Amino acid sequence: MKAENLFVEFDSDEPDSSPEIYELNIISGGSRLYGYLLTPDKRAGSPCPAVIMSHGFPGYTTNNDLELALMRSGCAVIHMNHRGAWGSEGNYLFTNLKDDLIAIAKWAHNPAIAEQYDIDTDNIFLVGHSMGGQTVLNAAKELPFIRGVAAMAAYDIGAAFRYKLEKELFLMIETEGQCLKMNSASEVYENALLNHDGLSILNRAELLSQRNVLLIEASFDTVAPADKMMKPLFERLKKLSACVKYESLKCGHSFAGQRMKLAEILGRWIENTVQ
């Protein structure tokens, strides 16, 4: 894996070594999750680290650019849509997100799958944006084989209730969530209300202290303000002497104007963390 190749392509493809895109469907909670897997050019070396991407709520802001950059650097990249999102079966609930990601990670770690896609099972990373940031931080505690976890502008449902942001959360569910498969916005909100303590990333600090962690803040973020949602976790991890790195980019929640810097931070962290 070479971060210097995040934005570099081979001069031409070769039939026996060129990158590939594979359609995937993985079962979680009895529902099929749909997505794809990118494999790098075999000239980049093998077996390759794997990155599992977790999208935010509801998934409008995609990370395809990061996925392709990481593929060029030599990573296999798995993109899956959570239950009820973008064609995947089942209904969307916040409590389903962690279980979906655990199912995907265990699938990638399976020796038969790893051999099929040339995945290095000692170097599997979880990367998530926004609600996906919360998801990867929550899932990592139950996946001892994960090499590292990176959260970008992580949303924290626990913090939303601690700081009385319930109205903003419900409005987000009601408006942005119209593209999701769910019984009602009220049901999804109720799911957050009843489980916000268990979903809170701040309560994951001790379990995350044994992981390699990267937190990337968007300093102009008004959706998931870092001082309320991600910095408290960073401060707690520092007190626990965790292997945690914190980066800040001057941009809004989507990182729209800083995507190349975001890719470089993420790529270099993965390169330095690979075992």
Q: Given a cut of 90, is residue 275 above it in pLDDT?
A: no
Containing domain of residue 131, as a range?
Answer: 3-273
Model confidence band, residue 170 (pLDDT cutoffs 50, 70, 90): very high
Q: What is the pLDDT of residue 241?
A: 84
Q: What is the pLDDT of residue 3?
A: 95
Cβ–Cβ < 8 Å for 89, 32 = yes
Please choose, from the candidates 188, 183, 155, the residue with its C-alpha nearest in 3D space to the C-alpha of residue 171.
188
Over range 141-170, report the average pLDDT.
96
The average pLDDT across 208-236 equals 96
152, 158, 163, 164: CA torsion to nearest 10: 120
Q: pTM of the full predicted structure?
A: 0.96
Residue closest to 19 by CA, chosen among 31, 9, 5? 9
The per-residue pLDDT for 242 is 80
Domain count, the chain: 1
- Each residue's pLDDT tens digit, 59-79: 888 899 999 999 999 999 999
Which pLDDT value is given to residue 89? Answer: 97
Output the average pLDDT for the chain: 95
Mean per-residue pLDDT for 242-254?
96
pLDDT (0 to 100) of residue 204: 83
- Average pLDDT on 73-97 reads 97
User: What CATH number is given to the structural domain containing 269?
Assistant: 3.40.50.1820
Strands (DSSP E) along 3-153, which ranges?
20-28, 31-39, 48-54, 76-80, 119-129, 148-152
Residues contacting residue 268 through CB under 8 Å, at least 6 positions apart? 3
Q: Element (H or E) spanning 70, and its range?
A: helix 64-73
